């Protein structure tokens, strides 16, 4: 599979442009009068890697491990080195474009207590304020950026119809072997170190929203491929210490999700910047560029 970052420009951000009016959103005089600081970015080159697919996979109506597929990043992309901070998110709140986060954190601590809807609102606001196209990363982009720190879903072996408890026990043993303990207090940027690709705090105690929808898929009886799938875009992939799934309105990961594994301590996000301008990205999405 291949991925073109141009077409991943967030739907909420694109809709915000239409609502604001592209000309108004990109009025240079208004943008220059109120500059917005942007987080440090890391540029990742093109490449390919094997990636366990996100979602729920069934074979003959029983859960199975996610298939592993080769994914290709066709072109370089830019991603924030750090999570969006509480102070950065607070500027969007001050402008009236974002709802206040549930967390009371301030300063360079990651903005947490934010939903997928909140993250999309921030991306739309930042895009309009800077004239650049900002969006959440896809699951594939996030995994590529995470490198050695990526961990997929907590999974057991293929389900045994005669004894479903075997899969649950396998999942429990897998999670227990990771030795993760609750760690609810967000830390300052950089507290969890830098990975091999130059990104900070991946797989720490802040899970990150992505733009990838939850998928319910059926595998062929011989396991050779996917025969059908349904996207549920009311739920999105969340990446962190392990991959999980959350409803779009959830701000507290401990309040509920739809995957195996200890729930996230915190929900936050970082963004990708498209190399096309905001206008070009919006026009291209609608086939006009």
pLDDT of residue 7: 41
pLDDT of residue 238: 96
Model confidence band, residue 129 (pLDDT cutoffs 50, 70, 90): very high
Question: What's the token pair of residue 240?
Answer: 């962190």
Structure confidence by residue, pLDDT tens digits, 54-98? 998 888 888 888 899 999 999 999 999 999 999 999 999 999 999
Looking at the DSSP bridge assignments, the partners of residue 236 are 213, 246
Q: What value does the mean pLDDT take over residues 204-227?
A: 89
Angle among Cα 276, 279, 283 to the nearest 5 degrees reads: 95
- Please say if the pLDDT value at position 43 is more than 80: yes
CA 40 centroid distance within chain: 18
Round to whole Å and give the CA distance between 53 and 140: 9
Higher-scoring residue by pLDDT: 163, 27? 163
Using an 8 Å Cβ cutoff, are 119 and 248 in contact? no
User: Can you give the residue ranges of every domain in the chain?
Assistant: 2-178+186-285
Round to whole Å and give the CA distance between 211 and 1: 17
Structure confidence by residue, pLDDT tens digits, 106-123? 899 999 999 999 999 999
pLDDT of residue 96: 97
Round to whole Å and give the CA distance between 155 and 175: 9
Using alpha carbons, select from 5, 10, 4 the residue that is nearest to residue 282.
10
Residue that has been written with the tokens 């009371």 in this structure: 104
Helices within 107-266 (DSSP H only): 116-130, 139-146, 165-178
Model confidence band, residue 248 (pLDDT cutoffs 50, 70, 90): very high
Question: Residues 6 or more apart from 262 whose CB is under 8 A from it?
Answer: 175, 180, 182
Backbone angles phi, psi at 57, to 5 degrees: -125, 130
The H or E element that residue 93 is part of is: helix 86-94
Round to whole Å and give the CA distance between 31 and 9: 21
- The correct CATH number of 2-178+186-285 out of 3.90.1580, 1.10.10, 1.10.3470, 3.30.980 is 3.90.1580
- Please say if the pLDDT value at position 245 is more than 70: yes
Q: What is the pTM of this model?
A: 0.79
- Please say if the pLDDT value at position 19 is more than 50: no
- Please say if the pLDDT value at position 47 is more than 60: yes
């Amino acid at each position: 599979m291949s991925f073109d970052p141009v077409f991943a420009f967030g739907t909420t951000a694109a809709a915000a442009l239409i609502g604001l009016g592209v000309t108004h959103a990109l009025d240079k005089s208004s943008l220059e009068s109120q500059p917005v600081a942007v987080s440090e970015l890391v540029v990742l080159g093109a490449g390919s890697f094997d990636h366990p697919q996100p979602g729920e996979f069934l074979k003959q109506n029983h859960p199975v491990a996610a298939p592993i597929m080769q994914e290709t990043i066709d072109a370089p992309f830019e991603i924030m080195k750090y999570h969006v901070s509480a102070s950065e998110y607070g500027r969007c709140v001050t402008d009236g474009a974002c709802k206040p986060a549930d967390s009371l954190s301030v300063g360079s601590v990651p903005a947490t207590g934010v939903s997928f809807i909140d993250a999309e609102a921030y991306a739309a606001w930042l895009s309009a304020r800077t004239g650049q196209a900002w969006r959440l990363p896809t699951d594939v982009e996030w995994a590529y950026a995470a490198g050695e720190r990526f961990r997929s879903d907590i999974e057991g072996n293929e389900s045994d119809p005669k004894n479903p408890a075997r899969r649950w026990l396998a999942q429990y043993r897998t999670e227990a072997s990771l030795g993760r303990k609750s760690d609810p207090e967000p830390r300052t940027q950089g507290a969890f170190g830098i990975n091999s690709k130059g990104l900070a705090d991946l797989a720490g105690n802040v899970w990150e929203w992505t733009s990838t929808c939850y998928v319910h898929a059926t595998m062929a009886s011989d396991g050779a491929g996917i025969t059908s799938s349904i996207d549920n875009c009311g739920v999105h992939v969340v990446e962190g210490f392990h991959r999980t799934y959350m409803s779009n309105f959830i701000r507290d990961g401990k309040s509920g999700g739809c995957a195996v594994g200890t729930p996230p301590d915190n929900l936050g996000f970082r963004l990708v910047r498209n190399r096309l301008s905001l206008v070009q990205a919006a026009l291209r999405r609608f086939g006009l560029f």
